[in-house]
A and B are shown apart, each in its own frame.
Chain A
């Protein structure tokens, strides 16, 4: 009997020791994901987007009344972007992990619920229809977007970002954006000024693009 009692006691000790040592494998949901689950008030998002809130200027001022900026403006299209992407970017502006002089104070004026509402609002807007594929795009842009570059170890843009304006997944936006915006972002990834891309996946990719590649891609995605 003594032996029978000793065995479970030993197992218990082993189990406790193992628990103390084992990594915690469970994934913690990021704060933006928690916020999106907690609040889905599209109307509140629309109100902030059109009228602003305190120090947060109305989004529509730059990003356009329906989330599509005026032609030639350097601001990104927001209409139809993945809800997760918009929420994550606003969280990142707010805590400074995506640096931008205009957007940081706006982010700081927004609560988690405000951000979630805005994200749900912009995701609810129709993305502008993609234009018919132009035939005068550069061969280089087409290659990079659709096939990548084997010599530079670059996968195709569409592998992750998809082939249409809505994007390739929750935090993978569609790339149809004004040329000035695409150029600014690829440049920021190249210089390391923008680094809210997880383990640096876009920074590493952008660093292998030449100036000409960046321009070709910016022009290509401005036409989408």
Chain B
């Protein structure tokens, strides 16, 4: 059984941030738009209301808002001479599912990328010489600059109700903010978050050591706010159910809160849930897409014809759709040729376990996904990399995310893993321990890539996406350096009894959480030999297919992805409206 739906102007695969932003922009511009979301519709009310939503077992342990690993997962291996095996449950990252995607279950940490990130290869080469790059690192410049993206970051700030204190307004450093912040054309729409005790102690110690701590920007509204779409956001109440949960308060920015209610009122915008896209269908000459094929809620294979196809699935799932659809030349690590699947990265995260005397009360349950005091002294190129011999950087912070009872059971090293000694330690340390978290950049390597698995298939009979990756020494050196700095700050904190750094070590594995920031495979670039899409996210080989999200990242910055993904969504939507629609089917001139 198969059927064909009436043709539309634009079909978007995925109902998360990028599909919602671009879908709404194009629908408002008069294009007939269909968004296909593979998951179910979920709304703040009633679906995310207390007490039902505050269920750690359901949402975190049993992955309520994550991709169903029983029907579609990734396979993994470190090297090409190994056989990849499928991940049976999510540990290394939480790929998203359901309406709103990762924009629902994210934490709300909200950053712009440093200007250096966009010219990574040329900047480091110019300042330190080409030899700063380890052999085999395939990091490359973006085809656009921070200055070009700034107005789009600004637009996304006002959509998500970003909170923070500007550190750099139009190039003028603002006392009290982050002095390393890239310039901003306007202040944050909302003031910074309130600081819990542990981040305050971190800030005090970091300042004492000469660093520049500041309050992390977030996409959790800190006061009642009406966003750029005229939609209401409420004030964050620090309930501690952000990461992996939907926000009960309409405070954490999500497509549901910030844009979909407006999009759904447009007669040109249609949302179809339970619509699982299998592939993009190409013309015979394979230079133009005809639409997409999906499986609907009843299991019927359905063709949706469209003039433009925009891939808005979760991060690297867009790369898989390109591979499944035969768009672009797959990357071959043996020759270094081909582009689709190239430049896979994750996030070089690490931590410092801190244990305090009983006078220091952490209250870990008084939390929010993005409430942190953080510092950028070791981000990007804010410090001298010359003597260190690596590229990239990371931020160091204390963030109070959750005191949820299953996951939050800190005990000092050496504590037995069960029995009365364990219980005693849990009781002693529950309220007197919190980690310093370190979020480092990640460099792509020649042997690290995404491809279709030759063995394992998903529930629809299609090959799974295979991840082949191990850390470059560069990132291991970076992690050791950052974790050492973090440990130094931990040891300078009041009331500390033990600070133990846990740097990231080889090999890269998928059985420990390292953030849900999995990137690459459809790099944006200026050269079709090393990129999948041009600077407007348009496929070089099939110009009526656009790609969005973290799949576009040629390498990963230390900063969380969503701000940049949102800015790029507006950037692409504007390019389609301004240029593409005037000459459909052609590459937009750069």
Contact = CB atoms under 8 A, between A and B. Distances in A.
A125 B213 CA distance: 45
Question: For the side of the interface on A, what is the size category?
Answer: 20 to 34
A22 interface: yes
Interface in B122-166: 165
A208 to B, nearest CB: 7
B214 A23 contact: yes
B248 interface: yes
Contact of B261 (A151, A154, A156): A151
Contacts of A155: 44-45, 49, 234, 248-250
Interface string A135-155: 000000000001111111111
Contacts, number: 110
A25 B49 CA distance: 31
Contacts of A131: none
Interface stretch (B203-211, B289-297, B311-319, B556-564): B203-211
A37 interface: no
A61 to B, nearest CB: 35
A151 B165 CA distance: 30
A130 interface: no
B290 to A, nearest CB: 36
A160 B43 CA distance: 19
A25 B195 contact: yes
B238 to A, nearest CB: 10
Nearest to B211: A18
A15 B44 contact: no
Contacts of B341: none
Interface residues of B, number: 44
Interface in A173-191: none
Contact of A208 (B46, B209, B232): B232
B37 to A, nearest CB: 17
Nearest to B235: A201
A88 B115 CA distance: 47
A18 B208 CA distance: 8
Contacts of B49: 146-148, 155-156, 158-159
A190 to B, nearest CB: 13
Interface of B: 43-46, 49-51, 165, 175-176, 179, 194-197, 199-200, 203-204, 207-215, 222-224, 231-235, 237, 239, 248-250, 257, 261, 373
Interface of A: 11, 14-15, 18-19, 21-23, 25-27, 146-156, 158-160, 163, 198-201, 203-205, 208
16 contacts: A21-B175, A21-B176, A21-B179, A23-B165, A25-B204, A26-B200, A146-B49, A147-B49, A152-B232, A156-B50, A158-B51, A159-B239, A200-B223, A201-B224, A201-B235, A201-B237
